[in-house]
Each structure stands twice: as structure tokens, then as C-alpha cells.
Amino acid sequence: MEISAVLFYVFAGLAVISALAMVLNVRNTVAAAMSLVVTMVSIGGIFVLLDAYLVAALQIMVYGGAIVVLFLFVVMLLNLRTDDFPPVGLRLAKLGGGLLVVVVVSAIPRLLGGVFPEIPAAPTGYGGYRALGIALYTDYVLLVEMVSLLLLAAIVGALILAKRKID
């Protein structure tokens, strides 16, 4: 097997295992958050294998780094202990999850048996910061501006809500 194929299975396996660890560790919030970090970093690794370097970097920086650190910050401020959680009684959610697992597992033989189409080589510069930056600031500039306005509104809204509580 090629090295990239081996790496893909390593990262994919890590992502699945750590995602499972996150769900199963639901009572130990910090351990769950750390498992989430491992999931994010392994997905970042898969992006690297796909030549999408910028997306990989953003994946680890934003999702693996900043956002989960904020989760941890909140978790640590609340200082939750295991017995703070009510017993889990979501029968419907469990049923749905079980069904989903059955569907995914039954799809695996089909996926393994299929023939993958030949993937054309990516053009030079594909997935780099340059290509993405040019696309964002020429073709999609309106969307970028709209999203930034939305984020600004969200920040201002959060500040106002927080201030109202203090006053």
C-alpha cells in the first residue's frame, strides 16, 4: 500500500475512535473535549492527504484549537462533576443512533466492493491559501462581506445580552 493510503486509514481510524470516545465520555466533559480535539486533528490530517493544506490548517487552528479551548474554558468555569448530570433517558435518540449505525455498517461491504473512479491530479496551487484567497475576494466577495456582517451582529448582540445581565 502507498504511504498516503496507510496514513489515510490511520487518520480515519483515529477520527472514528476518538469520536466514539467523545460520545462515550459524555459525563467526563474535559475528556470528551480532548477526544474531540483528536477527531479534529485527524480530520485535518485527512485534509492534508487531499492536498487541501489551507483547509487542514484552518481545521486544526479554528476547530481543534480555538473553539474547543473555549468549550474547555466554559466547562472549567462551570466545574461540572460526574454526578451533576441527570441519568441519560433519551430512548428515542438511542433508537435513532442504533438505526444509523445499522445503516452505516450495512453500507460498508457495498463501499468496499465498489470501484473507485480515477481521480485527476489536482492543478498546481490547488487548495493553497493563494487560490482560496483569490476565490474568496473576487468571486465570493459579497458572501464574505455578508458573513462578516452577520458575525459582527452576533458579537454586538452577545455583548448587549451580557451587559444587560450585569446592569
State the nearest-atom distance from the C-beta of 65 to another protein, in Å: 3
Return the SS3 of 84: helix
Nearer Cβ to another protein, position 70 or 100?
Answer: 70
Does the protein bind another protein through residue 159 (CB under 8 A)? no
Nearer Cβ to another protein, position 19 or 54?
Answer: 54
**CA–CA dist 151, 134 (Å, integer):** 21
Give Cβ neighbours of residue 35 (< 8 Å, ≥ 6 apart).
18, 19, 21, 22, 25
Nearer Cβ to another protein, position 50 or 57?
Answer: 57
State the nearest-atom distance from the C-beta of 114 to another protein, in Å: 33
Give me 31's grid cell.
475528556
**CA–CA dist 86, 109 (Å, integer):** 39
**CA–CA dist 135, 54 (Å, integer):** 13
Site mask, another protein, residues 67-106, x = CB under 8 A?
--xx-xx--xx-x---------------------------
Q: Which of residues 8-37 bind another protein (CB under 8 A)?
A: 28, 30-31, 34, 37
What type of residue sits at position 32? A
**CA–CA dist 1, 9 (Å, integer):** 11
Size of the site for another protein (CB under 8 A): 24
Size (the chain), residues: 167
What type of residue sits at position 163? K
Does the protein bind another protein through residue 64 (CB under 8 A)? yes
State the nearest-atom distance from the C-beta of 104 to another protein, in Å: 29
Give me the residues that bind another protein (CB under 8 A), please. Answer: 28, 30-31, 34, 37, 41, 44, 53-54, 57, 60-61, 64-66, 69-70, 72-73, 76-77, 79, 128-129
